[in-house]
Structure formats: structure tokens, C-alpha cells
Structure 1
Amino acid sequence: MHASRKAGRFVRHLAARGAIALLCATSAQAEPPYPARPLTLIVPYAAGGTTDVVARQFAVALQRALGQSVVVENKPGVAGTMGATALTRARPDGYTLAVMPISVFRQPFIQKTPFDPATDFTYLARITGYTFGAVVRADSPWQGWHDFLAAARARPGMVSYGSPGQFTSPHLTMMELAGKENLTVNHVPFKGDADCLNSLMGNHVQLCAAGSSAGTLVDAGKLRWLNLWTAQRSPRWPDAPTLRELGYDIVSNSPYGVAGPKNMEPHVVRILEAALRRAAEDPQHLAALKLHDQDLMYLDSAGYTRYAMQQIAREKTLVRRLGIKAD
């Protein structure tokens, strides 16, 4: 009888161990190892611009955080929304991510888009924002912003400026400024800062509304800022006035982050969220931000999601106020 009880306990023990093993196997099956292969990070601007240069340093830092390669893929066009469009076709497995500029929240109110920013993405982390400004060639006769205004008033519709794309933040800020000054100027959209600045250097446009990728050319004495759109003067370019100093209550820094497709697995989101934070705070990425006069503006997944929902509402109001729509 004693032996029978021992045998019964042994059988129950084996059954319990079997149940635990089955549970672990089921859990392992439900949560496969991640990441098990390289990731793609889509940058929705042309190579060589501010976003691309910083994003490539960020990708290197993300590789270290994840232990997997991160391949940067440029998809310029449509006001920086091609990455968002690509996410709508991607599997929600965590292997396709995209840089999400603020224009993703704006574009659906301007024209029909294949995505809804409120429902179609998993917002993983907000990373940083830009330093924007109006920049001219160093040999331009415009020594300050008021010189540009005078020239534009004297020749309505004859002064051309470039931006990194139609209805991007630099374009909309220039629209606001032109509206406040009652100017008629010619806008030339490009696929990114690099193309705009090349056109400026070739004297095909007279001014660029650009990000801080213009800074290396400013530092080299080839370009000159007429103003910056930051809240305070930049320590790097202390002679450039802010829009507030020039009498406009405007600050434009266009925060951006990283997102994936909707319906991503929670355990993948947790892994990515932690890795994205480590990458954002990585010294190599921070050095890239400093070089381009950008601030770290990190938010975790929950915080970035809240920010996205708030920004969608703000962009809807802005589009209505400016009365803009696609051609």
C-alpha cells in the first residue's frame, strides 16, 4: 500500500512536470525569439538630408541595442509619408519600422491617403525634433530677413524658395510667414533638404526653408541663416534671430519618432521600446543630434501614442486655418 502511494505521487509529479513543460512550450511558441533576423528602418526622405543622416546613426545604435542588423531604406516623396504608406503593407512582426515625421498626422487632412494615423500604426518611441530656418547663399544680397521681405514685396511672384516637400513643416511655416506679411512668393518643393540645398547652391532658388543639414554649409561660409525657428537662439549659430525675435509667435521643430504596423505583438513592442530608448540615448546618436543642433525628445510607446493623437487634432486645425489642399 505504501509503495502504491509513492507510485501515485511519482505519477502526479511527472504529470505536473509535463504540464509545466507543455505550458513553457506553448509560451515559447506564442512568443518566438525576437529579433531573429535583420530589421528595416524606412526613412521617408532622400539620402543625405538631416533626417537621413541622423537616422543612420540611430540605426547603428539600434543595432547594438537589438543585436541585429538594421537596414536603412530611403522612400522620399509625398511630404515624408511614404514610410507610413509602406507600414500599411508590412507584416506586424517588428521587422519593418519607419521614421514618422509630423506630416503623417497632417497629410490625411490635405489629400486622400492610404492610412489613418489614428488607427493604422503602433507608435513605439518619439525620438527628436528639428532645427529649421530660412537659409540663403553667403553671397546673397539679403543680409537679414527684412531684406528678403523687401525683395519679395518688390517682385511679387518672382522670388523662389525651396522646401523639403509640399506641405512639410518648413513649407507650412513659410506659408504662415508669407500670409502674415501678405507676400506672393514661388514655392519649389523638393524630396528632401539635400536636393533643396543643392538647388540653392546652384542659384535655382534664392532661399531654402531647411533643417540643420544646412549647418555644415553655414559653418563653411557657403550659406547664411536669415532666421531660425527655435524657441531660443542656437548656441551654434548665435547671430541667427528666432522668428519670435522678428515678431512672429511661431516655433517650428516638428518632432518625429519611430512606428511599426498596427497589431504588433505586445512582447515585440516591449523589446523594441526598450531598444529604441537605449538607441536614442546612445552616445553615437546623441553626438549626431548635437552635430545637427537637435534635441533629444524621447517618449515611450504610451507617451508617443498620446502625443500622436493630440498632434492629429492640432494638424487638422492647422490645415483648416491655412485653407490648404493638394493640387
Structure 2
Amino acid sequence: MKHLIRFILASLIGVASAAAAEANYPDKPITMVVSFPAGGGADAAGRLLARHLERKLGQPVVVVNRPGAGGEIGFAAIARAKPDGYTIGVVTAPNVVVLPIQRAAQYKLSDLQPIANLVEDVGVFFVRKDHRFQTMKDLVAEAKSKPDSINLATTGNGGLPHFALLSLQKNAGAKLMAVPYSGTVPIRQAVLAGDVDVGFITIADAASDLDGGLVRSLGQAAEHRAPTAAQMPTLREQGVDVVISALRGIAAPARTPAQVVRVLAEAMEVIVRSPEFQKEAAAQKLPLRYMGPQDFKGELERLDRDYRALWRVSPWEN
């Protein structure tokens, strides 16, 4: 009987301690995992949020880059962390959705608790400023006449550039050779060095090179011109039906307490809707699209259904 009483008391103390910890959250530094190299769009969005989140929550937010395997290493690190709210991370779609579909990844989408989406960023095909391609029509014409003669830098199968390549092949009949890199920064470096003909990353990722005149856009993959790139023609305007964008948001490990998720989500919504954050995001060419936990989860689950259906009909090479 004494053992039972001790067990019950210990359980009650544990529950009370956990509840107190949640009520006082956060009371120590938070780690934010970024699944791609420093300098890219995911890193920029994460670091911008981290600075504002520190002020809002009153605790340091330490950004840690864990790149590799198309984002899988970082996504898995988030999923495997202790679900207490002190490890969160930047997740990007389609990567976070597609990786567990196309291979036995180190995590499942259900291992993550979506907190908030921050950015929806449009993709752009781009070349070095002195490249022979002046327009997307030039690229498509050569790719159709000489299949696989043009190389496109990607982040590997399952990433945004990979799906842009598949869409270009399906909708324009242009077949390019994919060359995988570990992230958007290496893609930019490869294009600038002339190691590849063309790259496809988001407008935010390419912003500094575009603004600096180091590279030239062949067109943005948007239904309508993005406000952050109003002078850049869409691919559809050039007769190429490719529309693709990337979501960048924040997630925690599954089973993170609802109270903790609520604190983080509410703080992020206030931050994203603040004029100061919006001004800084615009300066970095980050087009904001806030979604709370339920909406963000629903969007990821919709993408999961869509990509699983695509995989069943036409699985891409892994």
C-alpha cells in the first residue's frame, strides 16, 4: 500500500512539474534548426524570425544549421528532439513532405508538429549574366532540340528544383540534366562559376545575385508576378506552363504540449503581422504568408496527398 501511495504521489508531482514548466515556458534558450546551409532563403527566414522571437519571448533563440540530404538531416533532428518546445526548426515544402514518400527517410511527416508558416516563395530559373540564354524560350528551344545537353542545378530529388525540372519536361517537352547540390547557396555558386548552365531556386534565395547583376532571370514560376519581383515576367507569359512555389514555416517535434505550441504560434503571428517584420522581410524579398498550426498542418497534409498520388502514377528516380 505504501508503495502504491508513493507511486501516486510521484506521478502527481511529475504532472504538476510538467504543468508548471509549460506555464513558465520559455524559461531557457530555444534552439532553431535550419535544414539548409547558411545564406539561403530558409536560413534568412529563420534568422529573421529568431531575432524577433527573442525579443517577444525574452529568451535567446539559437540558430543551428543542419544541412544535407535535401533537408532530411535537419528535419529528422527536429523530429527526434525532446518535445518540450526548446527545439524547433524551419521546415520547407515540398521537401519535408516528399522525402518520406520517395524513400525510407529518418522521419515521417507525422513526427512533426506544425506551428506556423511564414513564407510562400516563388521559384525562378536563372543563368549567369553572360550566358547565351536570354529568355526561357531560348532554353526550351535548345533543350528540345538537344535533350540532356543543358544541365540544371538542383537540391536533389524531392526538392523544389526537381519538381520544376519535371514540370518543365512534362509541360514544355524540354529535357534537362539534373546536377544535385546540398542547398541553394551551392546552386548559386555553381551557376556563378559556370559549372552548370541554369539554376532554379526561390526569388528570395536568388535576390542578392539578381539585384547585384551577377545573374539574369529567365522567368518566375508564378501564376501572377510576385510583388517582390514585379518587373520579372512569369514563365506563363513566355508560353511555358510551370508554376511552383516553396513554403517555409516552423515546426516542433510531435507531442509538443498544446500550451507550448499555442505560445509559439501566437508569438509568431504577432511578429509576422508587425510592420517592422514585414518591412525587413520585404527587404530580403521574403513574401509572407502566415498560417497558424491547424492551417499549416492542413496544407502540409494536402501536399502529402497530392505528392503521394503523383508518386503512385509516376514515381521519380530516387
Interval of TM-score (by shorter of Structure 1 and Structure 2): 0.7 to 0.9
SS at match of 1:130: strand
Check 1:51–1:211 CA distance in 2 against 1; reply closer, same or farther (3 A cut).
Answer: same
Q: Which residue of 2 aligns with 1:221?
A: 213
Check 1:46–1:322 CA distance in 2 against 1; reply closer, same or farther (3 A cut).
Answer: farther
Task: Provide structure 1 residue ranges, at least 5 long, that are not aligned to the other structure.
Answer: 1-22
**Equivalenced residues, count:** 303
Q: Which residue of 2 aligns with 1:274?
A: 266
Larger Rg computed on CA atoms: 1
| 1:72 CA displacement | 0.7
1:267-307 CA distance string (max 9 Å, x none):
21221111222232344532343134332211111222222
C-alpha separation in 1, matches of 2:187 and 2:217: 15
C-alpha separation in 2, matches of 1:262 and 1:236: 34
Maintained 8 Å contact 1:131/1:211: yes
The match for 2:103 among 102, 111, 115 is 111
Q: Which residue of 2 aligns with 1:134?
A: 125
C-alpha separation in 2, matches of 1:249 and 1:185: 16
| Residue 297 of structure 2 corresponds to residue 305 of structure 1 | yes
C-alpha separation in 1, matches of 2:216 and 2:196: 14
Check 1:261–1:149 CA distance in 2 against 1; reply closer, same or farther (3 A cut).
Answer: same
C-alpha separation in 1, matches of 2:202 and 2:280: 14
C-alpha separation in 1, matches of 2:18 and 2:233: 58
Maintained 8 Å contact 1:43/1:51: yes
TM-score normalised to structure 1 length: 0.85
| Residue 245 of structure 2 corresponds to residue 253 of structure 1 | yes
SS at match of 2:246: coil
SS at match of 1:134: strand
Q: Which residue of 2 aligns with 1:7?
A: none
1:85-112 CA distance string (max 9 Å, x none):
1123210010001111111111111111
| 1:256 CA displacement | 2.5
The match for 1:232 among 224, 241, 244 is 224
**Alignment-mate amino acid for residue 303 of structure 1:** D
Q: Which residue of 2 aligns with 1:40?
A: 31
| 1:239 CA displacement | 4.3
Q: Which residue of 1 aligns with 2:69?
A: 78
Q: Which residue of 1 aligns with 2:157?
A: 166
Task: Provide structure 2 residue ranges, at least 5 long, that are not aligned to the other structure.
Answer: 1-11
C-alpha separation in 2, matches of 1:98 and 1:138: 35
**Alignment-mate amino acid for residue 108 of structure 1:** P
SS at match of 2:265: helix
1:154-194 CA distance string (max 9 Å, x none):
43322111123332012211221023333332111112211
**Alignment-mate amino acid for residue 61 of structure 2:** V
SS at match of 1:277: helix
Maintained 8 Å contact 2:168/2:175: no
Check 1:153–1:306 CA distance in 2 against 1; reply closer, same or farther (3 A cut).
Answer: closer
SS at match of 2:27: coil
| Residue 277 of structure 2 corresponds to residue 285 of structure 1 | yes
Q: Which residue of 2 aligns with 1:207?
A: 198
